[in-house]
Amino acid sequence: MEWTHKDLLGINLLTGEEIEYLLERGNYFRGFLDSSPKKMKWGEGYYLVNFFLEPSTRTRVSFEMAGRLSGMEVVNFTTEISSFQKGENLEDTAKTLARMKFNVLVVRHRQSGIVEYLAQLLPLHVINAGDGMREHPTQALLDLLTLQRKFGYFKGLKVAIVGDILHSRVARSLTLGLKKLGAEVFLSGPPTLLPPAMESLGGKIVFPVEKAVEGIDVIYLLRIQKERQEAGYFPSVREYAHFFGWKEKWLNKENSGPFIMHPGPINRGVEIGYNLEGEKFSLIEEQVTCGVAIRMAVLETLLQGETQ
């Protein structure tokens, strides 16, 4: 299969076959990470810049780790010490980085669609690390890899995504990916945070949340974005935790399910309690490791230009 994409901009642009290939390569690199990894050599001579204009820990650091483990040179761009402070605009900054002969630009930006704009503007490979409320494709891919390693299949798998669906680029990308691979997706949370348009992506809105989690294989809990709380989408964080946070009663103790996932960072005592992520039914720590593996797979695929 020939890889035809210069960039990775969204799950919406990938076929099921292309997603499966990235998961295959991601699984290979996941095994590599378990074998006391040293640097690989296929990335030697390539340069990656993390161009993050929104705060991030997991995504930025895992891209840095993925690049370095692949043999690439990695530069982290920071607005605090850049020419943004002197009035330089985004387009000029991006063009400057391209002229420095970087090969890969990993972009996070608060504005939806800005990554597609940069991909059209620049000759290098552009990877979307989260743009506004639109997409976060590598987060969806690492989640899919985590699920594949746990269950070994997607067709018939039932996943409930619970929380702030309205503002979540993670929910959009993951819903698209799960549906393309044959899984069933159920969406729940406060009614004010359940946009009907999500059903056009293949998810089914279910309310109340207790109904959404019945017979589910995986509950994917989203971070409540406290910075958006001023909009008044629900009365208080405390009330949200009471109605929509993880409940022990959702657990079927006979088969230790459903399994729990979360994209991070976790709001302790809100979406999840203080002791959950280390439990045997939590996949949260595995998601983090799969994040490095899938980003290695994405870098390899874009740089090689075609699949094996």
Task: Locate the domains of the chain by residue range.
Answer: 11-135+288-304, 137-283
| Predicted local distance difference test score (pLDDT) of residue 308 | 43
| Predicted local distance difference test score (pLDDT) of residue 279 | 72
- Kindly state the tokens that stand for 142: 């690492």
Task: Give the H or E element holding residue 161.
Answer: strand 158-162
| Predicted local distance difference test score (pLDDT) of residue 256 | 65
CATH code of 11-135+288-304, in short, is 3.40.50.1370
Going by C-alpha positions, the residue among 232, 242, 188 that lies closest to residue 213 is 188
| Predicted local distance difference test score (pLDDT) of residue 233 | 65
| Predicted local distance difference test score (pLDDT) of residue 277 | 52
| Predicted local distance difference test score (pLDDT) of residue 296 | 98
Mean pLDDT by 10 residues, the chain (308 residues): 92 97 98 88 96 90 97 86 64 89 95 94 96 96 98 97 92 98 96 91 93 93 68 66 70 74 83 67 94 98 72
| Predicted local distance difference test score (pLDDT) of residue 18 | 97
| Predicted local distance difference test score (pLDDT) of residue 306 | 41
Domain 137-283 has CATH 3.40.50.1370: yes
DSSP 286: H
Tell me, yes or no, if the two domains 11-135+288-304 and 137-283 fold the same way: yes
CA distances from 73 to 50, 100, 127 (A): 11, 13, 16
